[in-house]
Amino acid sequence: MYYLFLISRALTVFGRLLFKFALSWYVFLKTGSPLALGGSMAVLSLPELAAPLLGAIVDRTSKKQILSVTTGMEGVVTFCLIGALIMTSHSTTPLYIAAIMLGALEVLDWPAFQAMFAVTVPAQQLAKANSLWNGLEATLVIVGPVVGGYLVGRSMALALLIVSTSYILAWALLFLIRVNEPPLPVLPVSRSEMLTGLNYVWKNTRIRYLLAISTVWNVVESAGMPFILVVLRRHLHLNAAVTGVTYGMEGVGTLLGTVMFAMVSPWVPRNVGVVMGAIIGSALFGLWFFVGTGGEAVALILAMGMISAFYSLNIRTWRQEIVPHEIFGRVIAIFRMTARSTTPFIPLLGSLAIAQLGLPLFYLGIGVGGLITSTWLGWRMLFSTSREFRSSVDPSGR
């Protein structure tokens, strides 16, 4: 059942990656504006602000049911989007509307997947299972943009049809999965219950620092990632297919990062891995200041994928090890909302900063800022708190 679950999830992630690439490329191709590109990423992330409410719902609902509903709805939305684009003469407005809807479904879907993953996999196998999933996800990161670049270059409607089909297949596979989930509360969601996750985060020192570093990383990533497309398109003059292949190199890096995590996981404490990933990842964004050729861009995207995977695996496994299952959805929702609360606005601010500073200085600024902040938080985490940070993870979370 675990492998069936992975296949279903892989189809969902493939659809999302393809859609996000298609959305970015199509909007930028139609408008030629970094501001419009930033706006498309902003509307996709806007539903993140509702994460605490959705996290409480996840904790009180069957995770399989949530995944079935969200995956099926994503398939319906993308299929309807095809007709909307045709009827509106390929206006970008339906894309923005669909992006908000798909973003809301993803916010509900993500903590449900994390919680179901933690239930499906034995605790002692979490690191290995996360490595396996990350390797599969990395393959999708390679394939998604490559396929997306090819399809969007031919027809946006064709790309959306493939996305919709991927969602529907994932939805069908979920019906074949049998999971023994813990008993669920039957009472309606209350305000105090929604605050449980926030209280847990506030009182747990490790989780607070983890959340702070996660927030910094997401600010840097949400500021920098959308405009790599501008570098590749405007400055390096790459077409859709070549841009897709270049983006796909992030997946190759993710595979390498997954292998690195699997090799060093028994010896490197999770907190050290998180700090290393955030610091090096921020520095890599700053290196876009120096990129002048396609080869340099490929190498940098490869390195970013590798470090991002190493960081993500450490933070994901650590959370799964220390957060109690009964409040897992709410805590993960707090992470998602807090770490990504700026995501709807950062791309817009980034596009304005690019207009004033230019792309090179913009990337240098976010790289240096992320590097300094991550280093300071990492120092606090590793050396200025209790002794629990200087040893490997305590699974009890105490």
Q: What is the model's pTM?
A: 0.62
Q: What is the pLDDT of residue 164?
A: 92
**Which of 38-42, 128-132, 177-181, 271-275 has the highest average model confidence (pLDDT)?**
271-275
| CB atoms near residue 144 (< 10 Å) | 28
Q: What is the pLDDT of residue 49?
A: 65
Instruction: Look at residue 168 in the predicted model and tell me its pLDDT.
Output: 93
Question: pLDDT (tens digit, 9 = 90+) per residue, 94-117?
Answer: 888 888 888 888 878 877 887 777
Query: Measuring CA to CA, which residue among 308, 163, 312 is closest to residue 250?
Result: 308
DSSP H helices, the chain, are 2-31, 34-45, 51-59, 63-87, 93-120, 126-154, 156-174, 191-203, 205-224, 228-230, 240-264, 270-286, 294-322, 328-340, 346-357, 359-383
Per the prediction, the chain carries an average pLDDT of: 77
In this prediction, residues 208-220 reach a mean pLDDT of 82
pLDDT of residue 91 exceeding 90, the answer is no
In the prediction, which pLDDT does 38 show? 67
Please report the pLDDT score of residue 390 as a whole number. Answer: 42
Confidence of residue 78 (pLDDT cuts 50, 70, 90): very high
pLDDT score of 70 more than 80: yes
- The class (CATH top level) of 2-178+192-390 is mainly alpha
